[in-house]
Amino acid sequence: MFSDGTLGDSQRTLLTRSLVLQTRDVDQAASVLASSAVPYRSELLAPASAFSTQIFGGHTGSLHLSRVRTTGAMQVRAQLPGDSYAIVLAVSGALEHRVAGELVWVRPGSALVQSPFQPVEVQTPERFELLFLRLDRNLLTCELEKVLGRKTNAPLVFSPSFDVRTQGGRRFRRLVFNLSELLRPGRGLPGSARFDNLQVDNLAHHLPARLLENELVHLLLETQRHNYTRLLARTYDADPWQVRAAEEYISDNAHLTLSLGDICFAAGVNSRTLQHGFQRRRGYTPMQWLRRVRLERVHQDLSRPDHATTVTQAASRWGFLHFGRFAAEYQAHFGEKPSETLLRYRRHS
């Protein structure tokens, strides 16, 4: 995917930060959110004239992100179809959800993970703003089977209450909120958009959809409890050849948007075993090794520049989205700034 800096139709970036809908019509809002967030039925608890909502949205091939700002208290009943999972995070307000008899709060420190066919009831406050991240079921199931090293024999079901104060939970929430900044009004293209301290002028080149999907899926499977958590936690001794096979696979495919599951599948071992084997035999994780290989590839590009080579272009090509972090890692690894490498070799060319 990074070999030429372009994206195919199946690897679309998040689209614009556009206003999808602004309405006072309850049914119209429900119709839009049924496909991009969660299908639901609602009953207004205040006069109909008090209801209003704004919906901002964007999507990739396997991910929908909606930012919803609403006025008007409602009683809501929601249920996902069989093809999706949804994560609901609060921007403002606190909402009490009932999921299979369990009380789940959606507020700054906690979120809701809704599994397919799982009914949810919620009474909303007068004003609230939520983020809905809807993920394709096949994407999650495929990655789960890769990191498990086996086929699943039952549907993946998450615990509905998601503590986003943990290290992985904070990372997940921060990434979703960074993405949601692209959906805020008055910040549309053209121009540069801020993404986790990254200035980008062309999202099609600098925000590869698969990288974002991989990161979110990995964090959700590793951080949030589900019915396969115990299997994921099992650790065996990885053979030396399995570690070498993973390293060779990474080296040969670093230009692709590899997930941890892809590497596990290539090495024929589950994720915990592979990560434990890497740490014990190499002193780093598989994803750290992938990042190291990509740093080397950026260095190669900057060492053989043509007239169009820039540091931004080279870093983006190899999947580095946070340029401040990339520049610091590059300097620590090579003893000079990436711009210095480019300037030195350009003078000699």
Number of domains in the chain: 2
Average pLDDT over residues 288-293: 92
| Residue 29 sits in the same domain as residue 166 | yes
Residue 201 has pLDDT above 90, yes or no: no
Q: What local confidence, expressed as pLDDT, does residue 77 receive?
A: 96
- Check whether 12 has a pLDDT greater than 70: no
pLDDT attached to residue 182 = 60
Residue 198 lies in a domain: no
The span from the CA of 165 to the CA of 69, in Å, is: 23
Residue 65 in domain: yes
Average pLDDT, the chain: 83
Q: Which of 143, 158, 173 is the last residue of a domain?
A: 173
Pick the more confident residue, 321 or 329.
329
Q: How much is the pLDDT for 209?
A: 58
Residue 271 lies in a domain: no
The pLDDT-based confidence of 54 (bands split at 50, 70, 90) is very high
* Residue 93, domain member (yes or no): yes
Give percent of the chain above pLDDT 70: 86
- Whether the pLDDT of residue 121 is over 80: the answer is yes
* Domain hosting residue 40, numbered range: 9-173
SS3 253: helix
Whether 20 is in a domain gets the answer yes
Question: Which phi and psi angles does 164 have, rounded to 5°?
Answer: -95, 20
- The residue among 173, 195, 215 that closes a domain is 173
Question: Given this model, what pLDDT does residue 184 score?
Answer: 53
CATH number of 308's domain: 1.10.10.60
**Who has greater pLDDT, 48 or 89?**
89
Specify the pLDDT at position 97: 96
Pairing of strands 52-59, 84-92: unpaired
Is pLDDT above 60 for 29? yes
User: Which is more confident, 159 or 319?
Assistant: 159
Q: Kindly list the strands in the beta sheet with 18-23, ordered across the sheet, starting from the edge strand earlier in the chain.
A: 18-23, 52-59, 63-71, 127-136, 84-92, 110-114, 161-163
Domain boundary among 129, 148, 173: 173
Tell me 14's DSSP state: P
Assess contact for 74 and 45: CB atoms under 8 A: yes
Tokens of 192: 């540069």
> Is 5's pLDDT higher than 50?
no
Task: Provide the CATH number for the domain around residue 14.
Answer: 2.60.120.10
Residue 105 lies in a domain: yes
Which pLDDT value is given to residue 101? 85
Say yes or no to pLDDT of 227 above 50.
Answer: yes
The pLDDT tens digits of the residues spanning 55-72 come to 998 877 788 999 999 999
pLDDT at residue 178 tops 90: no
Residue type, 330: Y
State residue 186's pLDDT score: 44
Q: What is the pLDDT of residue 235?
A: 77
Asked if the model's pLDDT at residue 41 lies above 80, the reply is yes
pLDDT score of 187: 43
The predicted model scores a pTM of 0.78
DSSP H stretches of helix in 96-181: 137-148, 167-181
Q: Residue 206: pLDDT band by 50, 70, 90 thresholds?
A: very low
How many Cα atoms within 13 Å fall on the side-chain side of residue 20?
Answer: 25
> Residue 173 is encoded by which pair of tokens?
């929430």
pLDDT tens string 239-259: 888 889 999 999 999 988 888
Assess whether pLDDT exceeds 60 at residue 145: yes
